Structure 1
Amino acid sequence: MKHLIIIIAVFLTGMISAQTNYDKGMQKAFELWENNNWTEAEQLFERIAAAEPEQWLPNYYIAQLNSLKTWEEKDADKVKAQLEKAQNYLNDAMSIEKDNADILVMQAQIFTNWVAFDGMTYGMKYSAKISDLYNKAYAIAPENPMVVLNRADWNMGSARYFGQDTKPFCKDVEKAKELFANFKPEKPFYPNWGRERAESILKSCN
């Protein structure tokens, strides 16, 4: 019995230590990111993802980093490499976390980046899929401000492309802003971004 208690104690200590290391690692990665050390942040997320294969968040943030980097990148080969890397890590996140609205939004973001990169090639391929992803995410989490905002943003972009009025979607952006005001992520390190984008869009609405 004594040996069993010792084994359990060691096991629990290991679990607590691992969780603490995960928390510390994630916190450090976000600090690097906030200080514009994107490469170091990405590398740290990669190490965390390798060490914590049951955690979807490190994979999600690697995908997000690579997705965001493409907006400033002009080299076509680098854009393709970044989006392919983003997709690979998001696939890993999807394999861990099923029917997750945040992951669906990130998938839509990656597809949107492909469309922005080469609309002639990827517009027809991904446009309907992007709409479907946002609608599915909205069905899962209609009170998630990132879902509401990015769905509205995509709908506005589509309306603008086809010469249609974007005003009807401004109310959705306003709703996203209201949701952001009281939004608290479900768990530590869960996605919580987009407030500034909502404010920017509302200025154009007004």
Structure 2
Amino acid sequence: MKTFITILLAVLSLTAFSSKYEETMKTNITKMYQVSGSAELQLLANKFERIGNAEPDEWLPHYYAAYCFIRSTFFDEMNADAKHAQLDKAQELVDKLMKTNSNESEVHALQALLYQLRITDMSKGAKYSMKASAAINTAEKLNANNPRVYYLRGSNTFHTPSFFGGGAEKAKPDLEKAAKMFKNTQQNDGLMPSWGKVHNSQLLSQCNEIAN
């Protein structure tokens, strides 16, 4: 009887702990998509890192910490040096994830996004576009149903000069595929990544405008 009670208490404690983790993560993920300032995103990145340090078996906290640093470059008109400083912080976290979760498609998709944002001038275009493309291909091999694969590939192609095989016309099929997948993908787990849909829609609209 004592053994049964001990096991029951352990199960209840684990369930409560898991519930608290999920609740905290969902709260911070919601904030992450709502805030529009780099300082707030850096604070959220620190929160996610603390969760990750407390939960070494969970990969999503460090994933979102990295994404917060990446997302922070979208706001406040950062200059190139400031952007790269934030991306350096994100890269450290992605490097950790690559060591522990290299079989996760979303990690390679995040790496691809980071590489794309490294292109702050023409001199960095060829290097980081190729790196992004390689990361996207790996993400696709790991999960061909990941819509971020086709969004990122379309984005990469869209921003590649036409004389290098890029441009809106070449990008459109991948962006259209991503749009369908974003629409049809049901997010059953509120903790899993869902970014990319809005920007994919914007790029697709630009493709349609150029075609007309």
TM-score range, shorter-chain basis?
Answer: 0.7 to 0.9
Q: Which moved more, 1:160-169 or 1:94-103?
A: 160-169
Shift of 1:75: 4.4
Contact 2:41 2:69 in 1 (8 A): no
Q: Deviations over 1:21-40 (max 9, x none)?
A: 11111122123224414244
Is 1:82 the equivalent of 2:86? yes
In 2, Cα distance between the equivalents of 1:163 and 1:16? 52
Q: Which moved more, 1:185-194 or 1:132-141?
A: 185-194
Paired residue total:
203
Q: Secondary structure of the residue that 1:158 maps to in structure 2? A: coil
In 2, Cα distance between the equivalents of 1:54 and 1:131? 29
Contact 1:57 1:93 in 2 (8 A): no
In 2, Cα distance between the equivalents of 1:184 and 1:132? 27
Q: Which moved more, 1:150-159 or 1:77-86?
A: 77-86
1:36-185 paired onto structure 2 within 5 Å: 36=35, 37-72=40-75, 73-116=77-120, 118-120=121-123, 122-160=124-162, 162=164, 164-185=166-187
Q: Deviations over 1:71-115 (max 9, x none)?
A: 445345533331121011122323332321111011111122222
Contact 1:111 1:130 in 2 (8 A): yes
Shift of 1:134: 0.9
Contact 2:147 2:182 in 1 (8 A): yes
- TM-score, normalised relative to structure 1: 0.86
Amino acid at match of 1:100: E
- TM-score, normalised relative to structure 2: 0.84
Distance 1:165 1:153, change over 3 A: closer
Percent of counterpart pairs with the same letter?
28
In 2, Cα distance between the equivalents of 1:152 and 1:76? 23
Q: Secondary structure of the residue that 1:115 maps to in structure 2? A: coil
Shift of 1:123: 3.9
Shift of 1:53: 0.9
Amino acid at match of 1:137: A
Shift of 1:161: 7.2
Q: Deviations over 1:134-163 (max 9, x none)?
A: 112122222221111111111222244747
Distance 1:169 1:78, change over 3 A: closer
Distance 1:165 1:95, change over 3 A: closer
Unmatched segments (≥5 aa) in structure 2: none
Q: Which moved more, 1:157-166 or 1:46-55?
A: 157-166
